[in-house]
Every structure is written in structure tokens, then in C-alpha cells.
Amino acid sequence: MTTQSSKGAKVSLSRNRGLIKSTLVAGLITSTMVLMTACSSGSSDAAGSAASPAAPAAEATAAAPSAAAPSAAASEAPPAELTKVAYLMPWVIQGEEAGQFAAVEQGFFNDEGIEVEIVPGGPDARAGALLASGSVQFAVMNPAGIYTNRAEGIPVVGVGGINQVDGLLVMCKTSTGIKSFGDLKGKKVGVWLGGGEAGFQAAAVTEGLAVADVEWLPQKFSMEEFFNDAFDCASATEWNEKHIVYKEGYKAGVDVVELRPADVGLFLPGDSMATLESTVADQPELVQGMVNATLRGWQWVCSSPENRKTGAQYTVDAAPDLDLGLQIIQVEEMCSLMAQGPAKAEGAIGAVAVDSWKQSADATLAAGQLTEPADVPSALTTQFVDAVPAEYRKITW
């Protein structure tokens, strides 16, 4: 078995019941640049979908005398062929994806007749373009990314929720004098382009600023620019970068101010499962299997402290340079985020709440990333989450 760090080269991790292939992020970035050109020419329907699984039936054999026992070959059907699917993650390998890794390791995708190739994301991996080209068949995206891709002609649709709150925040050093989104005028703020900036920009607009009043700069997949004072503020997640900053000795409220869209009344959903409209129309059984297994993986991970640690360990196995303690923290934060809002009210994870998605659409429009209001009902479907077995969604933590 070969492994890699989140910065390393291509690896293949063979498991007892599944297969993970973590593809080099840099390769994805290169291919994405080519794909973006193709997509802009209107070829958004070029997405390829995985073939439907074949389930060959066992051939009947000639009847033997009743006294004779049937041979093993005659009594065993050949194993069903698994449908191969490439599944793009929202970021490089880390605890944020523990549920998907668990679904592979625990055989949950296999149970649905699917062999999943987990493809790590990154700051420059454009999910919409990769879906449109057929390089991946499913992706984890936030609603803002789904809306902007649809506006560009890529028919992406949300098929299942993961985080009910996006878990994104802005971290500013107190030395900047920034205390609220209204103080960002003229400041340099690092953001992850492609959807990660929408909530912050909408929050700034809510506080009376124009989007152009702030210098929004592309941020790397680290806090390097924050530590080096290249930015006045940097984007962070509740489950990762925030803890990295504090591990370096910074103190909340003393050295660092945290700003969240929720501070100004914006509660936006985050990680969500997405695919193309054509996949939903042509392969609904495949979509159902992906949603089932993903939610089952997360329910399994979050259901006990032992499973949370195991889920974190799965990500470290795939990227040995990761700090296990930080990945456990990520998993803890993820389990909290996916059990909030509509999920908490329902007692079940995975909700695709139309009201929350509408608020995300409004925020994306307010941030200037859309030129007209999004058609929210067309950008999501609840049919698959509604059909997931209840035990795969039950919140027990």
C-alpha cells in the first residue's frame, strides 16, 4: 500500500472493501484550467456519468439427481460489478472528509454497488468544470458554488446536505483595529474563490459596505498570508485553520478577532453533495446510493467518540503528514455543524433545507456573484435525502 501527504504525489490505497485513489491536487488544477475554457464555450452538457452497475444473474444449470449435492460453481452467483465513481472532496485530504473515507473503509459505498475514487480538492480545483467534463461524477460543494456554476451554464444540482452551517469565518489580528464586517473598508481579506467568499461579501454589504470597498484576495490552502501579515484578515474554517492559528500561540479576543456571517444574521449551509442534472435524470439509483453511503458514513463517524477517532485516522492513513489530533478536532467540529439548524429540528442529518438555500442564494446575489436571482428550486432536490434509510441519518450525538 502506498500513501501520500496532502502535499504529495498520486497514491492508491487498497482497502478490504473499497478503493481510494487520492489524485495529485496540482494535476486537478491543471486539468481544471483547460476544462474552464471548454465550459465557457457552452459545452456544459459534456459531463460523463459512470455506467450503470451490471448485475449478471447466475445461469441455471441442468438438474442433478436429487441425491447429489449441487456443485459450488452452480450454487454461487458471480459477484455484481461495481459502478466506478470519482468523488471530488471540498479540500485537500483532512478530517472534513472523514465521513466519506469511512464510507469507503466500512464498505458502505460497496453496499450500494459503487466503487468510489476519492479525489482531493483544493483552492484551485473547480468542481463545476470537473463535473461538466466527466472527470468526476460527484462533488462536495457549497450552495453558493452551485448557484454560480449554474449561472455560468453548468447544470449542477445539490442532492444532499452535509453541513447545515458552512463553518467559515474571517480571522483578523486585533492590531488591525477591525472589530466587525463594517470595519473591512480598504482592508485586504484573503478568501477562497469559487463560493467561499460569498458569505463574507454579503456580510460586508449587510454592514453598509460595497463589495468593491474591500480588497478580496485569493488565499492559499494555509494561513501563511495571515502569519506573514500579507492580509489584514484571512478566511478560516471552524474545523481546521482556526485551530492551527491558536495552536501557534494566538489568543482569541486578545490577538485575534473572529467574524462570522451569523454575526449579522446570515446562516448559510456549507458542504453539500452535488452532481449534474443529467446524472439525476439518467442514473437516479446511483445518486441515491451515493447519498445513502455518504450520510451513512458520517452517521457512523459521529455516533461515538471511538468512531470519530477512527474516522480521523482514516484521513491520516491517506495523508500521513497530517496531525491526528487536529483531524479529530476537525471531525468534532464537522459533527457539530451537520447537526445544527434544520438537522437539529428534524433529528436527522443530510437535510437540503429550501429556506437555508434561499438565504444562500440571496447572499450570493448580494455579494455580486450573480447578476440575477438564482432559481433555487431548480438548483436542489430533496428526493434523495427523503429516501435515505432513517438509521443512516439519525442524530445520536
Query: Is 84 a residue whose pLDDT tops 50?
Result: yes
Does 277 lie in the same domain as 257? no
Does 358 lie in the same domain as 281? yes
- Alpha-carbon gap, residue 199 to 137, rounded angstroms: 27
- Alpha-carbon gap, residue 100 to 89, rounded angstroms: 9
**Does a structural domain hold residue 238?**
yes
Residue 77: the pLDDT is 63
The domain spanning residue 235 has which CATH number?
A: 3.40.190.10
Q: How sure is the predictor about 71, in pLDDT bands with cuts at 50, 70 and 90? A: very low
Residue 78: the pLDDT is 63
Count up the domains in the chain and report the number. Answer: 2
Does 301 lie in the same domain as 235? no
Mean pLDDT in the chain? 85
Does 242 lie in the same domain as 223? yes
Residue 58: the pLDDT is 38
Q: What does the pLDDT look like over 28-64, one tens digit per residue?
A: 444 444 444 444 433 333 333 333 333 333 333 333 4
Q: How sure is the predictor about 76, in pLDDT bands with cuts at 50, 70 and 90? A: low
Does 23 lie in the same domain as 107? yes
- Alpha-carbon gap, residue 198 to 211, rounded angstroms: 10
Q: How sure is the predictor about 361, in pLDDT bands with cuts at 50, 70 and 90? A: very high
Q: What does the pLDDT look like over 273-283, one tens digit per residue?
A: 999 999 999 99
Task: Among 6-15, 174-183, 197-206, name the one with the lowest average pLDDT.
Answer: 6-15
**Does a structural domain hold residue 70?**
no
Residue 124: the pLDDT is 78
Q: What does the pLDDT look like over 108-130, one tens digit per residue?
A: 999 999 999 999 998 778 999 99
Does 281 lie in the same domain as 159? yes
Query: Assign residue 134 a region: left if phi > 0, alpha if psi is -120 to 50, beta otherwise?
Result: left
- Alpha-carbon gap, residue 268 to 275, rounded angstroms: 20
CA dihedral 368, 167, 276, 52 (to 10 degrees): 170
Q: Which of 205, 232, 264 is the last residue of a domain?
A: 264
Does 159 lie in the same domain as 203? no
**Does a structural domain hold residue 60?**
no
Q: What does the pLDDT look like over 308-350, one tens digit per residue?
A: 999 999 999 999 999 999 999 999 999 999 999 899 999 999 9
Residue 123: the pLDDT is 75
Does 134 lie in the same domain as 220? no
List the beta bridge partners of residue 237.
168
Does 125 lie in the same domain as 40? yes
Query: Is 301 a residue whose pLDDT tops 90?
Result: yes
**Does a structural domain hold residue 314?**
yes
Does 141 lie in the same domain as 45? yes
Does 237 lie in the same domain as 217? yes
Q: Which of 213, 229, 264 is the last residue of a domain?
A: 264
Q: What is the mean pLDDT of residues 246-269?
A: 94
Does 343 lie in the same domain as 206? no
Domain ranges, residue 299: 11-50+82-165+270-392
> Which cell is 95 given?
478530517
